[in-house]
Every structure is written in C-alpha cells, then in structure tokens.
Chain A
Amino acid sequence: GAVVSQHPSRVICKSGTSVKIECRSLDFQATTMFWYRQFPKQSLMLMATSNEGSKATYEQGVEKDKFLINHASLTLSTLTVTSAHPEDSSFYICSALGTSGLNEQFFGPGTRLTVL
C-alpha cells in the first residue's frame, strides 16, 4: 500500500514553454502533498506544501507565479512550471502524507525536467 506515482517520469521542453507534472496517491487519499526539487548531487529542497481544496504554501524563495500548484482532489496534485528556462532543469519529487497515525510521507519516483 501507500504508493505515489508521478507522470511524466521524464520531460524535455523548449525554453519558454510550460510543463505540468502530476502526482497521484494510488491507494490512499492525501489531503496534503509536498513538492521538492533536487539539483544534481544536492539534497531535496522543499518547494511547497499542497493542501486539497486550498492554496499551496510556498517556501521562501520559491516563485508562486512560476511554480503553479493545484490540489483539486484527494489523490491528485499538479505542479506546472510556467515559462520554463534552462535553470529550471531539475529532478522534481512529490510526496503524499499518509493517513495512519505515523503521518509518514510517501514519495513518488520523481520527474526529470530538462529545459533546452
């Protein structure tokens, strides 16, 4: 149980285009999901907390107009990178908060974004 999927796993786009990444909790409902970014050989940095039915909470330094987050259902959160530029190339990972008393986070497999 507690599986989180991401789609797509890899995406290559041209500079200036927008890219949408989906994060789904497959066998549980997640009112809270998280989006992380990981640059090569660096650790994961939390970008934003996504709450179902309300606005996302962004970490300091993350542009909310550039990284649009929508959490319209209990099993789906989307991250849209708008007007992507090469510096946005990174590994994007989402996680979903489990519903057990442990409040464990379950991570997706990640999406590799390359902006040309």
Chain B
Amino acid sequence: KQEVTQIPAALSVPEGENLVLNCSFTDSAIYNLQWFRQDPGKGLTSLLLIQSSQREQTSGRLNASLDKSSGRSTLYIAASQPGDSATYLCAPRTSGTYKYIFGTGTRLKVLA
C-alpha cells in the first residue's frame, strides 16, 4: 500500500528565500507524480506533473524533481513570495491504476 510523507509539515520563511519541499513514497512503482497547491478552503491547483521516465519538470519559479527508485520527489520554489503561501501536496499515481495517493502536505507561509 502506497504511503506518502511530506517534510516539513509546516514552514514559515521570509520573502525572497529559496525553498525545498520534500515528498517520499513507499512504492516506487508509479506512473507519474503531481504536485498541487491548495489554498485554505479551496480546491487543488496542479503545479507540475512528472512522468515516471522524467527526472524533473520546471514551470516559472517552480522546479520538481523525481527519483523514482529511491521514492523521492522535491519541489523547489525560487525567490518565494507572500502569494506562494498555501499548502503544497504531492501525489504519486500508482502504476496500472488511475489512483493518486496524496501526501500529508506542507503548509507554507511566506512573510512579507
């Protein structure tokens, strides 16, 4: 059974810092992995999707890497801004299914 852990659970940083959010998963047989952002009381916004054959994906100030064999993914946020404050969730998709298993999330607060 896939289990997904995200570290740290919460993070508070001053504006402008570069950040690394970590995600680990127990079953490396994944099809892809998505990183999402969730604002309080809202739905999910997809940030990046990495296929199992890829090592990283970039979108603007965001870079996500994937090391499938070790069961790890990281989300790098460059030059953080107060608008980046949200909960960040990673979700690997199990191979052979369409199921995404969500991590516990990292609550990020970027201070102005």
- Interaction A to B: yes
B: number of interface residues (CB 8 Å): 23
- B43 contacts the other chain (CB 8 A): yes
Complex contact A104–B98 (CB within 8 A)? no
Please choose the segment from B12-20, B44-52, B61-69 that sits at the chain A interface, where 4 or more of its residues have CB less than 8 A away: B44-52
Q: Which of B31, B45, B89, B98 is the one whose CB lies under 8 Å from A34?
A: B98
B contact face: mostly helix, strand, loop, or mixed: strand
Complex contact B104–A43 (CB within 8 A)? yes
- B35 contacts the other chain (CB 8 A): no
* Chain A residue at smallest Cβ distance from B45: A107
- B99 contacts the other chain (CB 8 A): yes
8 tightest A-B CB contacts, nearest first: A109-B43, A107-B44, A110-B43, A43-B102, A44-B102, A43-B104, A107-B43, A43-B105
Please list the residues of chain B having a beta carbon within 8 angstroms of any beta carbon in chain A: 31-32, 34, 36, 41-46, 49, 51, 89, 91, 93, 98-105
